[in-house]
Structures are given as structure tokens and as C-alpha cells.
Amino acid sequence: MAVTPHPAPHVTEVARLYQTEFVRSARAVGVLWAVCSLCLAIIQLVVLVQPSWVRTSTQTHYKGSGPAPHSGTLGLFEVCVETDWPVPECRGRLSTLTPLPAFQSSAVLVCVSLTMVWTSVGCLCLFRFCNAATVYKICAWLQLTAGSCMALACLLFPDSWECAEMRALCGDGVSSFSPGNCSVHWAYILAILGILDAAILATLAFVLGNRQDALLPPDNKDERCQQ
């Protein structure tokens, strides 16, 4: 009867060391992914509440006909016009989450994106109870959905520029995808960066989820909450 040769003790030890290093690396990457997910959630919140999606150019650069429009900024919920006082005069009701009529679709999509991201952050608690691969995949789908909603919001926002609020700030030369005497401000750029961040985090979560079962030792694999 043939006897199956056992691996040499040093080979088994080396394999165990490599497995331990892989597990540590995966945990380190997982912690970094969790921190970046929390940062993405904060970015989404800032993008939603800040009236800085569009700003006017300086009055000296106004090239339109008629009186120069007011200087200020515009977001999804508020329009803020600069006055002689240090604090600008803002119109809109952020406290009741009532977006400007022209940007309701974008505001709803950003809210959905924000909800998905914060839900993925809340799912980090499931690592204590569920299989890590399952949690990573759930978070990946949530972040992918969040990035898609934010991307659609960023596409719909300039399509709605031909509205009374934009004309008051940017002059009569405003049209869809043409801001007239205005330019996109830091909140809109931050929203685009949030899309890229969500795509990267979702991809990383899928990779971590697919490799998690192979990285963990057999005696550490939890069968709870598996798909």
C-alpha cells in the first residue's frame, strides 16, 4: 500500500508563516479601506450641504449685456449672495432638506448616495458577527451604488443650469452645460472625487471579499452570515 509522504516540517512552517503574513496584510488593507470609507461618507455629507457647487466670476470679468449679476455661490439647497455684511445672504431651506426646484433630481440622487455610503459604514459592525467576505461584498455593492448615484447627479446638475437661480447669479448667457458668467466650485469637484473614491473602494472591497476565505486559516473561518 502506497504511503503518502508528509511535507517536511520546515515547509509546513514556512507555509504557515506566509499565511500569517497574508492575513496581517489583509487586515491592514481592510482597516485602511474602512477609514477611507468613513472619509467618503464625510465627503458625501459635505457635498450635500455646502452651497458651493457653482460660483460667480468677479464683477470685473463680466462680459454680458445689462447689469452685472450678483456675486455668490449656489448649491443644491441654497443660493448665497454676497452683501456688504461679512455673512452672505442665503436663500433656500437646508434645514428642511428642500432642494432648489431645478436641482431636485440631483439632490435626491446625492441623498441616496449618502445613504448608501453611511449604510456601508454601518455594515462595518457586521464584521463581529458575519463572515468577512460577505460583509466586504455587501459594502462593495453599496459603495458601487453610491458612486453611480453621485455620477448621475453630477451629470444632471449642469443640465439644470437654465433656471432662475442660475440666471440671477450668472447672467442671461446661462444654458444647459453652459454656466455663463459662473464656474463650477469646489463642492462639485469634490463630488467628482467622491465618485472616483467610491469606485476605488468598491473595487478594493470586492478584491478583499474574494480573497478573504483563502487568506484566513481554516479554524478561523466563521460560517455565520455566509451567502
| pLDDT by position in tens, the chain (length 227) | 455 555 555 545 545 545 566 566 777 888 899 999 999 999 999 999 998 999 987 554 445 554 445 688 999 998 888 776 666 777 777 676 788 889 999 999 999 999 999 999 999 888 888 888 889 999 999 999 999 999 999 999 999 998 888 988 888 889 999 998 899 999 999 999 999 999 999 999 999 888 876 655 554 544 555 54
CB 170 within 8 A of CB 179: yes
CB 56 within 8 A of CB 169: yes
Q: Is the dihedral of CA 129, 133, 134, 139 positive or negative?
A: positive
Going by the DSSP 8-state scheme, the letter that residue 101 receives in this structure is: G
CB 116 within 8 A of CB 142: yes
State the cell numbers at 220: 478561523
Using CA atoms, how far apart are residues 58 and 39, in angstroms rounded to an integer? 33
What's the confidence (pLDDT) of residue 227?
Answer: 45
What's the confidence (pLDDT) of residue 127?
Answer: 84
Going by the DSSP 8-state scheme, the letter that residue 51 receives in this structure is: S
Using CA atoms, how far apart are residues 90 and 101, in angstroms rounded to an integer? 16
What's the confidence (pLDDT) of residue 195?
Answer: 96
Global pTM reads 0.79
CB 155 within 8 A of CB 184: no
The residue type of 153 is A
Which phi and psi angles does 191 have, rounded to 5°?
-65, -40
The 10 Å Cβ neighbour count of residue 127 is 16
CB 197 within 8 A of CB 144: no
Task: Give the architecture (CATH level 2) of 15-57+67-218.
Answer: Up-down Bundle (1.20)
State the cell numbers at 23: 492575513
